[in-house]
Amino acid sequence: MFIGHLPAGYLLTKALTRGPLPLPKGLMAMGLVASVLPDLDLIWFYLVDARQTVHHAYLFHMPLFWVALAAGIWGLGRLLRWRHAGLFAAVALANLLLHMGLDTIAGGIGWLRPFSEVETTLVQVPARYHWWVWNFVLHWSFALEILVVAAAGMVFWRERRFCALTPETAL
């Protein structure tokens, strides 16, 4: 997935945080950061590893790593009585797992790594073009990313439009 992680994270965080209760500041920011966080391993991929290992094989693309980390943060938060630690950990974990779920569509993710080397990929993208990016952008699965981006744009626009319609501006 190229362009869909951040908009998908926005949609998921919006869905998880809907409700009548006031939410802590920074929850949306946490969701957005977590939605793209696994791709920080691209820094290692390009600058250190010289593109020798597919970046989905790195630690940041191991779902069990994030589950364990979120459980540890939740436990530490309970121990230290951090009021919203569980909420932040849950929103972050949901977005991290969404990231890897989206990567599973056209890229391999080892959902049980390090206990199993089996990678799950829903769709194989054939290598037809010299520049590897075109193989993904011109594949039908890229339309899913366009849909996610469009949906996030519509939700964002609609929310901004309705928030702007206060009683003072409606007159």
Domain boundaries, the chain: 5-170
* Rounded CA separation 9/23 (Å): 17
Residue 169: both structure tokens together: 């501006």
* Rounded CA separation 165/161 (Å): 7
- Our measurement of the distance from residue 72's CA atom to the centroid of its chain's CA atoms, rounded to an integer in Å, reads 20
Give residue-wise pLDDT tens across range 81-119: 999 999 999 999 999 999 999 999 999 999 999 999 999
The pLDDT of residue 166: 55
**Residue-wise burial string across 22-56, b where 16 or more C-beta atoms lie within 10 A, e elsewhere:** eeeeebbebbbbbbebbbebeeebeeeeeeeeebb
pLDDT tier at 23, thresholds 50, 70, 90: confident
* Range 148-162 average pLDDT: 92
pLDDT tier at 12, thresholds 50, 70, 90: very high
